[in-house]
Amino acid sequence: MSSPDGRLEIALLEALDTGVIVLDRDRRVQVWNGWLAAASGVSAAAAAGRTLDEIFPDAALARLTAAVTEALGSGASSLLTHVLHPALFPLKTQARGSLIHNAAVRPLGEKPYPACLIQVFDVTVSTDRERVLRQRQNARYDAVMDSAPDPILTIDAQGLIQFANPAAARELGYAGAELIGRPIDSLIDASEAWDAAWRAVWNDEPVDWPIELVARRKDGSVSFLDASASRWSAGAGLFVTAVLRDVNQRRAAEADLRLLNETLEERVRARTAELERAHEQLRQSQKVEAIGQLTGGIAHDFNNLLTPILGGLDVLQRRGVADARGQRLIEGALQSAERARVLVQRLLAFARRQPLQPSAVDVGALVHDMSDLIGSTLGPRIRIIQDVAHDVPAAMADPNQLEMALLNLSVNARDAMPDGGALTISARAASLKPGGKLPAGSYVLLAVSDTGVGMDAETLSHAIEPFFSTKGVGKGTGLGLSMIHGLAAQLGGALEIASTPGLGTRVEVWLPTADAGQAAAPDVATHGVEDLAAGVVLLVDDEDLIRNSTAQMLVDLGYQVIEVGSAREGLGRLSEPHLSLVVTDHLMPGMTGTEFAREVQARDPSLPILIISGYAEVEDVAPDLPRLMKPFRESELAAALGALRAPTQVPG
């Protein structure tokens, strides 16, 4: 390429932040750009004219070789994700750590295709963010278990209690540690129904839950409980988790009802009381619905009002201003502000997302049960084909989330077939050997295929990225495939997509079977004020009172603060020297905090960002961005900043 155009092409290839390989029909390297040379340690001259097997003799390239064959033969494009094909190439980051990557393969030219293009994308940073997000989700799950109102026990195969939540300890009258290792039989009066259910659940047989049982408390008293239980596995061990519900009041009510049935007058009175309760429940449900509709606006406005109040009072109390009487007044005002915050949090409970609740799911039955809903959603112009094998095992998944994922994939397929077509939903058992897509073991493969317009290689390479959408403004969030990808990964599976322009798309969701082991997530470290380092903070908020209050807290924590009133103004201050943190409000005119954070990350990916928001809809803030809900006190701000600046580990 000695011509000016050739020099321009070379300059463009060398400027890309992705790896570029061009193979001829003999699978020999024709193009090998500088990014790939730096990541692989193989120069372009050394790679020229050689096959990938010759360049990387120890790499597992079977799937990539098949994708190259498909591209040169049929023109099909493929995306090989790092989850299903780890360490496709032995690449290194600039810091010489392992570089996590995806690879996209597509044909070049017209059929018969003379060459194919392989693009390698660095996803090391995004993979690490997904890991951190999963850790936070596990932390939320632990919080839910601790706050659950019903007793929950986990028992091993020897009948010994391995986990007891606080509600179980309170119900049975023991300290939490006293229950661990105690035989479940020592707490329950045996009955034929319970013994039969206990044997059945260990044999993974169906049980008609709940089963009523009698529990013996530590003080000798008894309690009547309804029990529901399910079996699950972790590694080589089997466990049963039982959820108990206090039915003492129900039994007392049943006894009262028997007495009431002795006379017609008592029965009429009970019926009247029941009707009154039903009317009250209806009125309450209507109130709840109205509150739910108003939650977003109320939470945002009220939290914005509370933030300077709570923050200002907190600063005054910390500084010890005023005499003893003044301090008592400040303390009283703080208590009232905290009560107001609790009130808003109760309202927000209506809109909070629930953590995943994995259980054994009959995928075949789930597909069958959803066929009518999918059919009515897709319309008469799309023919639905079910191809579910008879021996599909149960998958370990959250049934509600899996239903939403299947419906989402079906709607995506419908949008890709504007003139109608065929949608195929298939499910089968799959087994992977070591060194394959996922850890060796048994999986359930759920696939959705369409005969639509398909995707080219460029679109396919971005398909699972958050906020990427081909549906146009207002027609999609761009989160569907990324959420399904995250769901599969959180469950220990993976998502894989294959698509050919004009021939359609196939999306595969790999899920572990119900007896697959689940790896425990590492604990999330906590960081306090002592972990913070002084620096310069860019504070962005369009509300003067909130900005002033937050700035004062940051100053008290040892930071220098640059205050701006809009995201646009904040972009102009990113070049300030020694800038170490960005703290931004979310809901602002012109540009939201999420949009501002994305722009900051594009300019300086290493700059930590914290979003503070009083907005009720948590989905409105990108899930990978750290956030702090308004109102907050100085200690909460310090904890959020400490977690934000805590070091993360990049997988080696």
Q: What is the pLDDT of residues 241-252, one digit of tens each?
A: 888 888 877 777
Q: Which residue range is the domain that position 330 belongs to? A: 264-348
Residues 321 and 434 in one domain: no
Domain assignment present for 519: no
DSSP 202-228: HTT----S-EEEEEEPTTS-EEEEEEE
Q: What percent of the chain has pLDDT over 90?
A: 14
Confidence of residue 371 (pLDDT cuts 50, 70, 90): confident
Closest CA to 239 of 227, 226, 229, 254: 229
- Indicate the SS3 state at residue 252: helix
Domain assignment present for 353: no
Closest CA to 154 of 247, 237, 246: 237
- CATH assignment at residue 244: 3.30.450.20
Domain assignment present for 139: no
Q: Which of 191, 225, 255 is the last residue of a domain?
A: 255
- Write the pLDDT tens digit of every residue in 301-344: 777 777 788 777 887 888 777 788 888 888 888 888 777 775 56
**Amino acid identity, residue 120?**
V
Q: What percent of the chain has pLDDT over 70?
A: 81
Residues 241 and 372 in one domain: no
**pLDDT for 424 beyond 90:** yes
Q: How far is CA 646 from CA 38, 96, 498, 640, 643, in A?
A: 30, 22, 38, 10, 5
Distance CA 504, CA 494 (A): 21
**Phi, psi (5° rounding) for residue 645?**
-95, 5
- What confidence score (pLDDT) does residue 449 get? 92
Residues 109 and 9 in one domain: yes
Domain assignment present for 284: yes
- What confidence score (pLDDT) does residue 426 get? 92
Closest CA to 649 of 141, 135, 83: 135
Domain assignment present for 522: no
- CATH assignment at residue 417: 3.30.565.10
Distance CA 438, CA 497 (A): 15
